[in-house]
Amino acid sequence: MQRVIRIGTIVFSLLLAGALPSLAQNKWSEKQTFPIGGQGGWDYLTVDPATHRLFVPRGTHTLVVDADSGKTLGDIPGQKIAHGVAIAPEAGRGFISDGGGDGAIVIFDLKTFAILGKITAQPDADGIIYDPALKRVLVVSGDKGVMMTFSPEIDPAAGKIETPIDLGGSPEFLASDGAGKIYVNLMDKNEVAVVDMKTRKVAARWPVAPGGAPVGMSIDTKKKQLYIGCRKPQKLIVMSLTDGKVLSALPIGDGVDATKADGGEIFASCRDGSLAVARETSPGNFEIVQMVKTRTGARTMGIDPMTHRIYLPTAEYETGPNGKPATKPNSFMIVVVARQ
């Protein structure tokens, strides 16, 4: 009996020792901060994993930052209200959604960062992605409630977007399954619009309840799941791509703006300075496994899938003339979060 106990103890110790490295990898923390400075707000941050570059909209201009050193490599001017950046490596181009005025898409060269041209879009051009399977850049307009599409090879001088797709609500962000379906958060309808790109129509509408006001969205095509950040109430929704069923609704911080999936984990970045880390701990069971302290205002993020580093833009805050929080001049930064 004693021998059996000793063997059992040894086996348990070996199993525990084998599990410790895995457990340790699951801990995330702030590793460094890139002090960028300059003027302007910020919105969606896009990572180019091939070049380890960060594309960071700053309102009237868009910064290109080296993801390893934090050095500013370029500054693309000429926007009114820059929201997001999509990159199409095979075309050698990047695309900035500019929601100011009548709306526009700024096209730039990925190597030189030179502006190649600007095409007319719908007002409030906001969330933007590139779908390599469809060979289309996809952009949503919050004010007009449509999704715009165009080829990455579009003529920068005279090109026009294709006929916009009516979404029947106010879109915020979107994701593609790479097989002809686009999923769009409709913030005012508390649902996800499923767009069939063959018919260019909304094929289904999936409620995000018990979440509401969906903003952030990301996708895991292998697991066939959507990850949706909701503000009212504050939830991280895990949704099945098969039928739109809500698989889990997890509590997160205040002011979520982005969700990402990487390495079997799900992330939700919030304005209150929290980064929720979730995981499927057993089949069908999802849990928040860590709440990482970041910085106030760090509501959007990008993840480099090659290095698994998370980049969150924000700034320092002070009390403004009206008594409300205001960003300190020249305090813009990018917070880098990584595994311990």
- For the record, the structure tokens of 63 come out as 């910064």
Q: Which residues share a beta bridge with 219? A: 226
- Burial string for 144-173 (b: 16+ CB within 10 Å, else e) reads bbbbbbbebebebeeeebeebbebebbbbb
- C-alpha radius of gyration, the chain, whole number: 21
- For the record, the structure tokens of 107 come out as 């096209």
- For the record, the structure tokens of 3 come out as 């021998």
CATH number for the domain formed by residue range(s) 32-339: 2.130.10.10
Give me the pLDDT at residue 26, please.
Answer: 59
Give me the pLDDT at residue 320, please.
Answer: 83
Give me the pLDDT at residue 340, please.
Answer: 87
Work out whether strand 28-35 and strand 104-109 pair parallel, antiparallel, or are unpaired. unpaired
- Please give the Cα distance from 36 to 11 (Å, whole number): 51
Indicate left, alpha or beta for 336 from its phi (over 0: left) and psi (-120 to 50: alpha): beta
- Please give the Cα distance from 203 to 163 (Å, whole number): 17
Q: Would you say the pTM of this structure is higher than 0.85?
A: yes
Helix (H, G, I), strand (E, B) or coil at 3: helix
pLDDT tens for the chain, 340 residues long, are 333 334 333 333 333 334 333 433 459 999 999 999 999 999 999 999 999 999 999 999 999 999 999 999 999 999 999 999 999 999 999 999 999 999 999 999 999 999 999 999 999 999 999 999 999 999 999 999 999 999 999 999 999 999 999 999 999 999 999 999 999 999 999 999 999 999 999 999 999 999 999 999 999 999 999 999 999 999 999 999 999 999 999 999 999 999 999 999 999 999 999 999 999 999 999 999 999 999 999 999 999 999 999 999 999 999 888 888 889 999 999 999 999 8
- Please give the Cα distance from 256 to 271 (Å, whole number): 6
Q: Which residues share a beta bridge with 86? A: 95
